[in-house]
């Protein structure tokens, strides 16, 4: 997708809103319509959207919850829509420290990567300093960057969503499963986000005279050959529990999955498998 300087608004509004309001009569019917029973999910909120833009499964989809690093999808969309130079080097500074959740980072002060590499690390490995650096180096500064994130959410019709920082470290980054379904649909239009979110491993060289750093994707389902994942993002802080959003092809149909407030490190992945099993059994 070609980045523009007009912001997130026109293309994302078309993709995010129309895809979720499209009449079933005008779209392909989901093969997972009229499923019986319910999967036994541990996530507090869950949503599955099918090819016809209808809800295949929903659980507490309108409750506002902290979303942690799911936030980084909006950060990446704002950067890409702005048309900023993706090859421009960005250097990590003390301003990029996590003073909220006190998480660590292997990107020490002085580490320098391109804006493209920072996006890749922020999405695939949920690197907080990379996301913070992206927001800090926004032409208008961090505050204006967060304003742009919230404006993007509003244009997508994410009426119960609020962003407070680029990395998702503050508990004030909040949304609903319903709103995040819109954001996932919009994010799918970005080739770099799709690439970053499905890259299993990445090597970067932040310093010219030192060895590389190796990063892995936070979504362990990418290692499972039975999953066909087109886009994904995980998130976690204590207040949010484990979170996961994905687009995956199940039995030939691309579906969007949102799982929020899953307590237990493996719960979102277990719930994803339970959802898929339930969908395949009932079609």
Active site residue 94: no
Active-site residue among 30, 45, 72, 75? 72
Active site residue 69: yes
CA 78 from centroid of its chain's CA atoms: 13
Active-site residue among 30, 69, 197, 232? 69
Active site residue 59: no
| Beta-carbon contacts of residue 235 (< 8 Å; ≥ 6 apart) | 67, 68, 69, 70, 71, 126, 168, 242, 243, 244
Active-site residue among 126, 197, 256, 262? 126
- Which residues have a catalytic role annotated? 69, 72, 126
């Amino acid at each position: 997708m070609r980045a523009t300087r007009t912001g997130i608004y026109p293309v994302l509004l078309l993709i995010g809103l129309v895809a979720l309001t499209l009449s079933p009569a005008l779209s392909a019917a989901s093969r997972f319509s009229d499923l019986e029973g319910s999967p036994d999910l541990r996530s507090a909120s869950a949503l599955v959207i099918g090819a016809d833009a209808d809800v295949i499964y929903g659980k507490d989809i309108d409750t506002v919850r902290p979303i942690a690093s799911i936030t980084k999808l909006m950060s990446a969309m704002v950067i890409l829509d702005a048309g900023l130079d993706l090859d421009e080097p960005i250097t990590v500074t003390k301003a990029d420290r996590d003073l909220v959740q006190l998480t660590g980072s292997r990107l020490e002060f002085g580490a320098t990567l391109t804006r493209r590499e920072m996006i890749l690390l922020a999405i695939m490995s949920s690197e907080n300093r990379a996301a913070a650096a992206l927001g800090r180096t926004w032409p208008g500064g961090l505050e204006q960057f967060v304003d742009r994130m919230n404006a993007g959410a509003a244009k997508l019709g994410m009426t119960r969503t609020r962003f407070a920082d680029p990395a998702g470290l503050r508990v004030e980054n909040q949304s609903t499963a319903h709103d995040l379904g819109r954001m996932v649909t919009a994010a799918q239009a970005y080739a770099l986000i799709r690439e970053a979110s499905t890259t299993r491993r990445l090597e970067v060289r932040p310093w010219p005279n030192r060895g590389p750093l190796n990063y892995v994707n936070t979504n362990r389902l990418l290692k499972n050959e039975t999953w066909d994942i087109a886009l994904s993002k995980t998130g976690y802080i204590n207040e949010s529990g484990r979170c996961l959003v994905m687009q995956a092809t199940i039995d030939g149909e691309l579906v969007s999955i949102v799982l929020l407030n899953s307590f237990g490190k493996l719960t979102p992945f277990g719930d994803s498998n339970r959802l898929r099993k339930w969908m395949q059994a009932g079609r």
